[in-house]
Chain A
Amino acid sequence: MINLKIFLHGLKSLIGARSPAIPLAACFIALGALLKDAGFNLQQSAASSFFTYALPGQLVMAESLLVGASLFNIFIAVWLVNFRLYPMTVSLFPLLKHKSQPKWKYYLSCHFLAVSSWLIAKDTYQKIEKKYRIDFWMGIGFGTWTTAIFTTLIGYSLADYLNKDLMIGFAIVNPVYFFCMMIGAMKNLKISIAVIAGTVMGPAIYLISTEWAILFAGLISGTIAYFFRGKNGSK
């Protein structure tokens, strides 16, 4: 089963100077308020973060509902915006693999994969013995996931008290946190090129195609970085 000591070690990532709790809270409080505006009730708002737990996709769903989009269009739009989770999973789970661990842990815990948990896991996995890395990951993921659900409920409940200036402040917290973590991750030339090229190409391709921009920018920038000579970009 799960090694509780290692699981709690992962859960502890939520506290300290590198905690993702504040940016997670800021963006899911804002999401909770938005879902209330979109006509969701409290249970539906919590269910959205419980079952989806991917902010850009949840935003797309709420905005699509507001403009009366069909369920098929919502599916396509969310799938495109959340497709980034595929390369993120493939670039993390091989590091957590161990033959003694059951498959259900991987299939269940992939639900916890989001930008915050991914960046923390990539930053810290080497400190954990390989056999127990999946338990460590489950601790990180469970902590970030439950924080997201809890703060969605807070945002929903506080929606009437959040003014526009406060909401603008909340909206910048997440990108600032992730940019700082990405800069911290730029430990070799290939990853630095991937991050810088992606940052430039994302908005540039967005001018041509709003739906495909992130996917194309990621593929092109990552492939350019891959062909650069230098230290292996697997870290």
Chain B
Amino acid sequence: MDLSNTIVLAIIVTSFATYISRLLGAMTSEKVSAKSKIFEWFNLVAYSTLAALLGRIIIFPAGVLASADLVIRILVLVVCIFIYILSKKNLVLPTIFSAILLSTLTSL
């Protein structure tokens, strides 16, 4: 099979594997009340799953982020969280600053 056909099949497989979780979630939601205990559990699992993913990305990144030192990655994250808090929860400032700071520190 040539590369182009393989890529098209990979896109189909990836899209299907992703949509399954979303669709099952939408179907399950029909039976779940927003005031129920099971909803609270799902909410907490969703937050912790996201946090786990983010923690993994910072500590064990894949791709180009791995070429920046761990200490620098954590430093940039902590500085930007402080900017977020000090700027009364502005999200644009810390995100732009994070790119500038990390690019600068890694090119030194």
Interface residues of A (CB under 8 A from B): 17-20, 22-23, 26, 30, 34, 39-41, 44, 47-48, 51-54, 56-61, 63-65, 71, 74-76, 78-79, 82-95, 97, 103, 106-107, 110-111, 113, 115, 118, 164-185, 190-191, 194-203, 205-206, 213-215, 217-223, 225-226, 232-235
Contact = CB atoms under 8 A, between A and B. Distances in A.
A132 to B, nearest CB: 16
A179 to B, nearest CB: 6
A164 B17 CA distance: 31
A59 B72 CA distance: 23
Contacts of B32: 90, 94
Given A202-B55, A222-B41, A84 B49 contact: yes
Interface in B22-68: 22-26, 28-30, 32-35, 39-65, 67-68
A108 to B, nearest CB: 9
Given A172-B76, A175-B77, 19 more contacts: A40-B7, A51-B11, A84-B50, A88-B46, A91-B43, A94-B32, A169-B103, A172-B65, A177-B94, A179-B77, A182-B47, A198-B49, A198-B55, A199-B54, A202-B55, A206-B59, A214-B52, A217-B52, A222-B45
Given A180-B80, A233-B43, A86 B17 contact: no
A95 B91 CA distance: 25
Nearest to B34: A94
Contacts of B56: 202-203, 206, 213-214
A65 B7 contact: yes
A78 B51 CA distance: 19
A218 B49 contact: yes
Contacts of B30: 97, 103, 106
A94 B67 CA distance: 41
A90 B29 contact: yes
A170 B102 CA distance: 9
A225 B44 contact: yes
B42 A91 contact: yes
Contact of A17 (B26, B63, B80, B90): B90
Nearest to B107: A165
B65 A18 contact: no
A148 to B, nearest CB: 13
Contacts of B64: 30, 164, 167-168, 171
